[in-house]
Structure 1
């Protein structure tokens, strides 16, 4: 059930930063097709969607290395193998980007309501920018955002706080008045370290761990629940 801590209210916020994979769009289908296309070309065993689910969240490079290690019996890939895999994966992902993914219920309504409430929105994801922008556009979500930053936009990725710090600077608002909305401990850790309040979606990936155990200011079953919950706290 959706719940926000009483300390979080619309009057305390100027902007919202929203994660992409597992927060707005269920992209496991795209990951599954692209990764298995990569593995097939490399004559490596296939990987299941359930296995992929627990590896998503720390960027495509980390995902590819984790997949390679898994299908190779625990042997970590060297740099040459990781580069080859990245090139093959990128080609496959760009070919299917958005075709096997779905927007979670309530996302479009929630984003529209947040903008109607006067908040500026930014999408901040560990997904490469070349993947993130087209995905948002294909799902009709790009129009809600003032800014979009991929995982290659800054020197480090979430859970490092730097991407949130830089995004708040680009939005022009204080970190304490900018809400992070995500689906995993990566988002929560980055937000806490940056000094941003954070709300987590209950349906996301979170590396196979319970989201209820992650330190946050709220937990939602639908992004559409966020605007009315924030107004209730005002």
Structure 2
């Protein structure tokens, strides 16, 4: 499927641009150790990420995808997680292969790029700076920038309004069903990467408009004519 050039491209962060699970798992296990609870490990954290750090911490406490832990325990755990994660943010993470090349290609086509993530701003900005990709985006919307975050369409619609672009002329590039649901609700086109964080499910089951294995394949699915 070849898509007509979008006037605006919104790109997810965790699981799409950067593999942040190693740092998130380190912070979760550090948090659990300080609470005298069992460590969860990178494999579980990789399955749990994608809905913001609050939900990640709850899943770690419960060792389960759903449910609500004791609120006092959760608040204590969330504080510990933030402290540890602030110290290790970006230390063990890596830019996914092909991302730099893909961003460069999009910029060579004069694409307007924005980063839309559920990660809190206090962690988003340092991470983008650490990997020297902050300057690629004309707008960054974090998980706490607005009253709602993905899968709610609000962040996408806010970006479209900010750039004065009609939603059907915009594209979301992400890795999870959250991105697909947000894009559909906002009236955006949606491309997903196959390698990201989608709770262990093949992203093709969510029926995005296209699936790519690398950002280097963007030129084969977006036609700038």
Match of 2:4 in 1: 9
Select the residue among 76, 88, 109 that pairs with 1:84. Answer: 76
Partner of 1:32: 25
1:56 aligns with one of 49, 52, 62: 49
Contact 2:210–2:221 at 8 Å: present in 1 too? no
CA distance in 2, matches of 1:62, 1:171: 31
1:132 matched to 2:132? The reply is no
Map of 1:213-224 to 2, 5 A cutoff? 213-224=205-216
Task: State the shift of 1:225 in Å.
Answer: 1.2
1:163 alignment partner in structure 2: 155
Q: SS where residue 164 of structure 1 aligns?
A: helix
Please state whether the residue corresponding to 1:180 is helix, strand or coil.
strand
Deviations 1:111-163 (A, max 9, x none): 12112211110000001011011101101111111011110011111111111
Unaligned runs of 5+ in 2: none
Structure 2 counterparts to residues 58-137 of structure 1, below 5 A = 58-70=51-63, 76-137=68-129
Task: State the 1:171 CA deviation.
Answer: 2.4
Aligned counterpart for 1:145 among listed residues 127, 134, 137: 137
Alignment of 1:210 onto 2:202: yes
CA RMSD, Structure 1 to Structure 2 (Å): 1.4
Equivalent in the alignment of 2:37: 44
- 1:231 is displaced (CA, Å) by 2.4
What is the aligned counterpart of 2:190 among 181, 195, 198? 198
Compute the TM-score of the two structures, normalised by the length of structure 2: 0.95
**1:75 CA displacement:** 7.1
Residues 1:227 and 2:219 are matched in the alignment: yes
Which consecutive unaligned segments of at least 5 residues does structure 1 have?
Answer: none
The CA distance in 2 between the partners of 1:83 and 1:226, in whole Å, is: 41
TM-score, structure 1 as length reference: 0.92
